[in-house]
Amino acid sequence: MLRIVNLSVEVDGKRILKNVNLYIKKGETFALFGPNGSGKSTLLNAIIGNPAYKIVGGRIIFKKTDITELPTNERVKLGIGMTFQSPPKIGGVKLIDILKHCAKLSGREEMILKLAEKLKMREHLNRSLNLGFSGGEVKRSEILQLMLMNPDFVLLDEPDSGVDLENIAIVGQAISELLERDKDDREKAGIMITHQGHILDYVSADYGVILYNGMIACLGDPKDILNQIRKNGYEGCLAKCLKDMI
Amino acid sequence: MSEGYDLEKDKLREIGIEFDPLKRSGTFLQRDQEVSTVATFYGGVEVMSIRDAMKKYDWVQDYFWKLVNREQDEFTKEADAEDVNGYFIRAPPNVKVEIPVEACLYLHRVKKQKVHNIIIAEENSELNIITGCTSHPAAIGLHIGISEFFVKKNAKLTFTMIHSWHNKIEVRPRSGALIEENGTFISNYILMNPVKIVQMYPTAYVNRNARVIFSNVIVALDGSTVDSGSRAFLREEGAIAEIISRTISKGGKVITRGQIIGESGGVKGHLECKGLILSENGEIIAIPELIAKRPNLELSHEAAIGKIAEEEIFYLMSRGMSRDEAVSAIVRGFMEVEVKGLPEILKIAIDKAIEEMRDAL
Ligand SMILES: Nc1ncnc2c1ncn2[C@@H]1O[C@H](COP(=O)(O)OP(=O)(O)OP(=O)(O)O)[C@@H](O)[C@H]1O
Ligand SMILES: [Mg+2]
């Protein structure tokens, strides 16, 4: 579904991603790991088309279309959707107004209230986006927006960071649904960034990948990789990956 | 005839004038110097022309030029004339009416429209007023509006002024407000249509434990010059002032002023001006001033002028909006000022007015 070829990305004139290659098929979910500043968010932002992240080399192919030059809203119409690590606060723009736009993409207009209820965001509908939202509320609002967009390809930037144990179950279940993890014959695919990996208790992933220093460094079973990182740190995990390859 | 009438009605609706007894507690319409409609739909509130008020009550005279200096400038002098008209709106003691009174000043044929308004919220009363000022599309002229607001002890007055002029009109409001102990005065000002020049600097005198809130939403289109400020004298302990402005330049020039003078200890004031420049040739000048004359008081201001953040546009585009839709959502959000204590019915009226005019942007 998504093919990333030799992708290099610059932010503020600084090269962050170096020749990244990734191929994700329909039905697959990737868990993306990596230390702070390694370029995980940069990769997802490049895929959704954030103009602050400049693609200086390589291509992004989605559903057989080269989307490298497409504006963000066109990519979204093709079926890509993203939850952000730290979305902006926008004064006067109400959550409900944004949700209506999200729902328009998928025809899920009637589901707005039901899903808002499910993600415990009913009370926030008439508030300005993210103004005064708690950390967990920001994350739930992001997931809610995506649930209403119902994209085919789901990009999740740390959906579990700062979310308490009770809410992580709600968020996890929503993501599972988004990615159709309970179905055998899945139409959806996606990439999910996580540090602690708590979300993996609720959302199964097919592969784990480590992004290190702007490069893809490891690919394998997500739980194995997470355990290696926990035990030996990123460096140790990379060393083991390298050894396994030889 | 009927076409002209419809045009006028549409124009009035744009500035919040409904002529609907369900939505308004009283109505007042002045065309040029003549008052053509006066009605009160709700017992208690008094709405009449200032000329009639002077005939009815001999004390009305005493309220003239109390808060605005008649010698202040050529415009105040000009308004100090025999043929002046305007409205007199008064809530008697203990009368509380949430449904707003509407008042409209319409400049049609005269070169100079001169208006003198007296607004009184007596002790423990509550009064809401929507006033719309507008002109005939072909009118050329000068509007001078003197307004004096008297908010007595424990009273609350919310005054919303919506301007919708045309580019050959010069507008010189001169306003003063006295807010007595525990009183509240909320003044909202909205300008979103073209105008040649608007220049004003309403001033509030705030007594013990009283509060004033000025909130202004101003859009200056190409060829418009808007010089608008709000001033508050915090005269006694516990006085509070809040001045909020949102200005947008779409090619016009805006000077947004604010001045809070702390004359007593234990007062508090905050000034916030935010500006957005949406056009290459626009200009916004923000001049916030804080003057403290006593040690133990709290005055602050924040001013920020900029363009729309790309990050916000991108975010909304990632939710399926086009670039244009994203920009207009952000601009519209920018103009939404949260004024605490604004009655719901007024909020709806203001939102509606902004909505109507926004489409013309
Ligand atoms: N908008 C930006 N402006 C300047 N530098 C940026 C910007 N976005 C990212 N960077 C830089 O790019 C590098 C990679 O950042 P990125 O956000 O992709 O890291 P990350 O892997 O997501 O880290 P984290 O786990 O902390 O979220 C960092 O050094 C960061 O400072
Ligand atoms: Mg990140």
| Predicted confidence (pLDDT) per residue in B165-219, tens digit | 888 999 999 999 999 999 999 999 989 888 999 999 999 999 999 999 999 999 9
Residue B66 pLDDT > 50:
yes
Domain that holds residue B361: 308-361
Query: Which one of B311, B322, B336 has the shortest CB-CB distance to A88?
Result: B311
Q: Residue B1: pLDDT band by 50, 70, 90 thresholds?
A: very low
Residues B48 and B107 reside in one and the same domain: yes
Count Cβ atoms within 10 A of the Cβ of residue B348 and give its class: 0-12 exposed, 13-18 middle, 19 or more buried. exposed
Tell me the CA–centroid distance for residue A154 and ligand 2, in Å: 16
β-bridge pairing A90-94 and A128-129: antiparallel
Contact list, B335 vs chain A (CB under 8 Å)? 92
Short-list B89, B95, B93, B68, CA closest to B80: B68
Whose CA is closest to B8, among B229, B164, B239?
B164
Q: Tell the residue number behind the tokens 């909130």, with chain if given.
A: B215
Which residue from A33, A42, A83, A86 has its CB within 8 A of the most atoms of ligand 1, so it is best to mutate? Answer: A42
Task: Decide if pLDDT at B4 tops 80.
Answer: no
Q: Where are the domains of chain A?
A: 2-86+152-245
- Indicate whether this model's pTM tops 0.95: no
Phi, psi (degrees; rounded to nearest 5) at B305: -125, 140
Residues B244 and B339 occupy one common structural domain: no
- Same-domain pairing of B121 and B175: yes
Match 């200890």 to its residue by tokens: B265
Q: Which run of H or E residues covers position A6?
A: strand A2-11
Phi, psi of B93 (to 5 degrees): -55, 140
Same domain for B344 and B204, yes or no, is no
User: What residue ranges in chain B does DSSP mark as E strands?
Assistant: 26-31, 34-40, 46-49, 87-91, 101-107, 112-121, 126-135, 141-151, 156-164, 169-179, 184-191, 197-200, 203-206, 211-221, 225-234, 240-250, 253-262, 268-277, 283-292, 298-306
User: What is the average pLDDT across B36-64?
Assistant: 90
Neighbours of B103 (CB within 10 A): 28
Q: Are residues B328 and B274 in the same domain?
A: no
pLDDT of B6 over the 70 cut: no
Q: Ligand 1, closest atom to CA A35? A: 25
Cβ pair A91:B336 closer than 8 A: yes
A132: number of Cβ within 10 Å = 9
Dist CA B101 CA B103 (whole Å)? 7
| B31 contacts B151 by C-beta, under 8 angstroms | no
The answer on pLDDT for B88 being more than 70 is yes
CATH architecture of the domain A2-86+152-245 equals 3-Layer(aba) Sandwich (3.40)
Domain end, chosen from B307, B325, B350, is at B307
Nearest CA in chain B to A77: B320
Q: Note whether B244 and B361 are same-domain residues.
A: no
Model confidence pLDDT, tens digit, residues B138-158: 899 999 999 999 999 999 999
Least confident of A92-106, B60-74, B171-185, B342-356: B342-356
Give the mean pLDDT of chain A. 94
Pick the closest to residue B8 from B141, B109, B115, B87 (CA basis): B109
- The predicted pLDDT at position B5 comes to 57
Contacts of B310 in chain A (CB under 8 A): 51-52
At B341 the pLDDT is 67
Q: What was the pLDDT predicted at B2?
A: 41
Report the pLDDT averaged over residues B354-359. 63
Tens of pLDDT along chain A (246 residues) come to 999 999 999 999 999 999 999 999 999 999 999 999 999 999 999 999 999 999 999 999 999 999 999 999 999 999 999 999 999 999 989 999 999 999 999 999 999 999 999 999 999 999 999 999 999 999 999 999 999 999 999 999 999 999 998 999 999 999 999 999 988 899 999 999 999 888 999 999 999 999 999 999 888 899 989 998 988 888 888 888 777 766
Among B221, B202, B206, B180, CA closest to B131: B202
User: Is B45 in contact with B97 (CB distance < 8 Å)?
Assistant: yes
> Is B350 buried (19+), middle (13-18) or exposed (0-12) by CB count in 10 A?
buried
Residue A245's pLDDT is what?
A: 66
pLDDT at residue B3, as a whole number:
45
Work out which ligand 1 atom sits closest to the CA atom of A158: 27
For ligand 1, mutation pick of A41, A215, A229 (most atoms within 8 Å of CB): A41
Q: Are residues B233 and B348 in the same domain?
A: no
Of B289, B307, B325, the last residue of a domain is B307
The reply to whether B18 and B95 lie within a common domain is yes
CA angle A173-A177-A179, nearest 5°?
120
Contacts of B96 (CB under 8 A, 6+ apart): B124, B125, B126
Per-residue pLDDT, averaged over B124-132, amounts to 94
> Residue B14's CB: how many other CB atoms inside 10 A?
19
Are B291 and B325 contained in the same domain?
no
A195 Cα nearest atom in ligand 1: 25
Q: How far is CA A26 from the centre of its chain?
A: 16
Residues in chain A within 8 Å Cβ distance of B330: 90, 93
C-alpha pair distances (Å), B254 with each of B113, B193, B248: 24, 13, 8
Chain B interface mutation, best of A44, A45, A73, A144, highest count of B Cβ atoms under 10 Å: A73
Residues B7 and B155 in one domain: yes
Point out which residues pair with A94 in neighbouring strands.
A128
Of B155, B164, B181, which is closest to residue B104 (Cα–Cα)?
B164
Q: What is the rounded CA–CA span in Å between residue A137 and residue B210?
A: 37
Q: Give how many domains chain B has, as a whole number.
A: 2
Q: pLDDT tens digits, residue range B258-316?
A: 999 999 999 999 999 999 998 888 999 999 999 999 999 999 999 999 888 999 999 99
CB-closest option in A48, A50, A73 to B320: A73
The overall average pLDDT reported for chain B is: 90
What are B99-114's pLDDT values in tens digits?
899 999 989 888 999 9
Q: Which of A81, A82, A91 sits opposite B333 (nearest CB)?
A: A91
Same domain for B328 and B215, yes or no, is: no
In a shared domain, residues B13 and B159: yes
Tokens 């709106």 belong to B89
CA B241 to chain centre: 16
